Amino acid sequence: MGTTIRSGRQRGRVAAALGLMGEMLITLGLVLALFVGYSLWWTDVVAARAADRQGDRLRQTWSAPADSTPEAPAPVYGAGDGVGFLHVPAFEKDDRTILIRMGTSTEVLNEGVAGVYEEPYRSAMPWDAEGNFTMAAHRDGHGAKFHDLDRLSEGDPVVVETRDAWYVYRVAGTLPQTSKYDVGVVAPVPEGSPFTGPGRYLTLTTCTPVYTSRYRMAVWAQLVRIDAMDAHRTPPPELR
């Protein structure tokens, strides 16, 4: 009888310990889920505020008189400098206008912008006679400006706004998934794209699948038109 009682007590203690452990694991899982959700949401808020401030400052610099003489050299940008704005009508409303800055470092991309590649291939600029204007942005967290990149399909417009012009591109091809080491997608003539020779191209890249950085996806577009900037900065029809 005594042995039976002791066995019952031991089983009771084991069951209680297992129950406590289960409750702790459930609590830990909930805490981790809340932390991940909070981290993604809060980094989006912080990045959006930073990008808004930087975008306002860039537009303020554009309000100053510019040297528009034929001999004026093209602007030269260093790491972190603001270049312009990327407009993507296919994105969700709040993410259709994205500040463009030089560089793809974590410090730059974490501020909710599209960063211009400086390596392994230095990006061409929209006003260059030929080349590939290449950019990257986060898909999740820190503004997640390219979260909807998979919405783009052939024929969709993408517009780059600079101080002096609107550069209108049309999507020519997409690459849903490739290795994150596939640097050819941002080459001057991007590998795997529909393009076979030099031209004036645009490449957008981000991580995939959602909430991972295992692979990369790319969208390629080709310049179809340049609209001069008027005094009211009237956007092209693609953005109206």
Kindly list the catalytic residues: 207
Backbone angles phi, psi at 99, to 5 degrees: -65, 140
Residue whose entry in the numeric block shows the structure tokens 């909807």 = 148
- Of 216, 221, 219, residue with least CA distance to 206: 216
183 DSSP 8-state letter: G
Task: Decide if 223 contacts 237 (C-beta within 8 A).
Answer: no
Task: Decide if 142 contacts 112 (C-beta within 8 A).
Answer: yes
Amino acid at 143: G
73 DSSP 8-state letter: P
